[in-house]
Amino acid sequence: MRTLICLLVISVLAAGCAAPQAYDLMQTPILYVDSSIDPFAHLPDELKNTRSTIFFATTREPAPPDAHPPYSNRTSDTLHMGTATVKMGDQTVDWQALRNSSLSAYRSQPILISLEGTEEMAVVAGTTPEAVPLPPPLAGFFTRLNSELAKVADKEIMVYVHGTKVDFTNAAVLTAEVEHFAGRDFVSVAYAWPSHQNILSYLFGVDVKRARESSLPLTELLVLLAAHSDAQKIHLLSYSAGVRVTSKALGEMRQRFEHLDAEQLKEKFRVGSVIFAAADVELDVFLERLGPASDFADQVVITVSDKDNALQAARKYMGGPVRAGTTEAETAELEYIDSAKLDNVSIIDVSIGQDQRGFDIVGHHYWYRHPWMSSDIMFIMRTDLPPERRGLQPAEITGLWYLSADYPRRVRDAAVTEIGDQW
């Protein structure tokens, strides 16, 4: 027993002092492969580097000094806001090497991406008034954010809300990857809620509860971004259990501002695209929140799959209705969209067309790991265009879209038509 205790203590200490974790840079979106489209050609020299600065807002408690990640799995009663530096590649990788790898379907060696450091700038407790003046630390945060907005081509913000089994590092790294492959044309914010890194916490409902509790701080973040940033548009990308957080936050915002109609909400909050990727949320709950989300956004995009093993397992072991990110939910979602006249909501079924393509798009991480689906995500983040202008193929049912066998050609043609040399 004594030996076992010692081993446990050693493992805990080792985990607390572990080196920063590195991830492989995601596969190049098909939009850029074997084409003349270069999302980095227009970048000013100061943005052509292997480091990316993103912003973050988290309800995770700060970890002890020198710990990795810098924010723990414990829940904080306050919202911590600041910047994070993400490094792409080791010391042998310069900008040109990173650029070449980011435009190639094949890499001679993986490009490692890691969280290099963070700077906490402000702590928000409760509700902060929309009116100025802001407390000095929070004012400093927005001064820095607006300074970064002034440097990028699109004066827009992307907020990424991660799923379960994700730590702070993973949330920051994936946020930086999306920003990178979208051409570094906007400022990104990682919203890191305190999910655990084991599936049991989710299956037993611990992380489901944390996802619910994390919606109010996200609401506060979105209100602050709309009131104090210079962003022309604010896009929301949420994934898996993160859809629980985002959809609930938008519902709570709708209640807070119930005196405003949909057009007034769009004008006030300037929400562009809301993406619900592989949504791990019960269908009935999701449909209740879809209307409020539609009221805020220029467009809402839902991705579904019949080969999402994680969503299938979630229903099997947790019970309840089908998950919103599965094709089983598709008919009910389309019927609700039609009956509620949500003209700005579309569904992408990644399972349609697999016979013609010669392959299926499988797994739970398809939206960023598969180069076809990631292309559409980057296109949305870059342009906020509807599906008919992004190279997608309409299905027989109105509101349903898919990736046809000629999608690589279609998306490149769409990019040239819609953006041209502005890339």
**pLDDT by residue (tens digit) across 157-212?**
999 999 999 999 999 999 999 999 999 999 999 999 999 988 878 777 888 899 99
pLDDT in tens, 116-126: 999 999 999 97
Q: What are phi and psi of 163, to 5 degrees?
A: -95, -160
Q: How is 62-116 classified by DSSP, letter by letter? A: EPPTT-SSSEEEEEEEEEEEEEEEEEES-TT--HHHHHHHHT-S--SS--EEEEE
Q: What are phi and psi of 193, to 5 degrees?
A: -90, 160
Residues whose CB is less than 8 angstroms from the CB of residue 135 and which lie 6 or more positions away in sequence, other chains included = 122, 128
Instruction: Name the amino acid, one letter, at 56.
Output: F
Residue 161 and residue 293: Cα distance in Å, rounded?
A: 15
Question: pTM here?
Answer: 0.93
For residues 283-291, give the mean pLDDT.
Answer: 97
Kindly report the average pLDDT of the chain as a whole number.
Answer: 91
pLDDT of 422 > 70? The answer is no
Quote the tokens at residue 314: 């979630």
* Residue entry with tokens 């790991």: 369
Say what the pLDDT of residue 20 is: 61
Preceding peptide of 133 cis, ω within 30°: yes
* Residue entry with tokens 């003209």: 343
Domain span at residue 302 reads 2-422
Q: How is 179-213 classified by DSSP, letter by letter? A: HHHTTS-SEEEEEE----SSHHHHHTTHHHHHHHH
Phi/psi class of residue 369: alpha, beta or left (left: φ > 0; alpha: ψ in -120 to 50)?
Answer: alpha
Half-sphere exposure of 374 (CA within 13 A, CB side): 23
pLDDT in tens, 130-156: 777 899 999 999 999 999 999 998 999
Residue 328 and residue 334: Cα distance in Å, rounded?
A: 11
pLDDT in tens, 264-274: 999 999 999 99
Say what the pLDDT of residue 421 is: 64
**Cβ proximity of 251 and 219 under 8 Å:** no
Say what the pLDDT of residue 9 is: 31
**Better pLDDT: 197 or 386:** 386
pLDDT of 66 > 70? The answer is yes
Number of independent structural domains in the chain: 1
Query: Which residue in 50, 34, 85, 275 sits closest to 163, CA to CA?
Result: 275
DSSP 370: S
